Amino acid sequence: MPMAAEDIKSMIVAAIPDAQVTITDLAGDGDHYAAHVVAESFRGVSRVNQHKAVYAALGGRMGGVLHALQLTTALPTS
């Protein structure tokens, strides 16, 4: 069963409360998403560890109910 975009967003925000999350369904099938996560708490954290934090927030759903996630992370610009 596919994951809803809102569920993905909610899980990320629950784990990274200051995150601004944009989810895009890339294929319209609920299995292939892009996530853009912006958080001040990423400051001083390597890109690899930022991505690990987002994947950890998804609680092991990657490769299961969530087939593919194109992930970008960033710091706020202002």
Q: What is the pTM of this model?
A: 0.91
Domain that holds residue 35: 5-74
Predicted local distance difference test score (pLDDT) of residue 64: 77
Number of Cβ atoms within 10 Å of the Cβ of 41: 13
Domain harbouring 47, CATH code: 3.30.300.90
Beta bridge pairs of residue 23: 35
Torsion (CA) 20, 51, 55, 27 in degrees, nearest 10: 70
| Mean per-residue pLDDT pooled into runs of 10, the chain (78 residues) | 89 98 89 94 97 93 82 93
Predicted local distance difference test score (pLDDT) of residue 1: 66
- For 41, phi and psi rounded to 5 degrees? -65, -10
Whole-number Å distance between alpha carbons of 40 and 27: 30
Total domain count, the chain: 1
Predicted local distance difference test score (pLDDT) of residue 32: 87
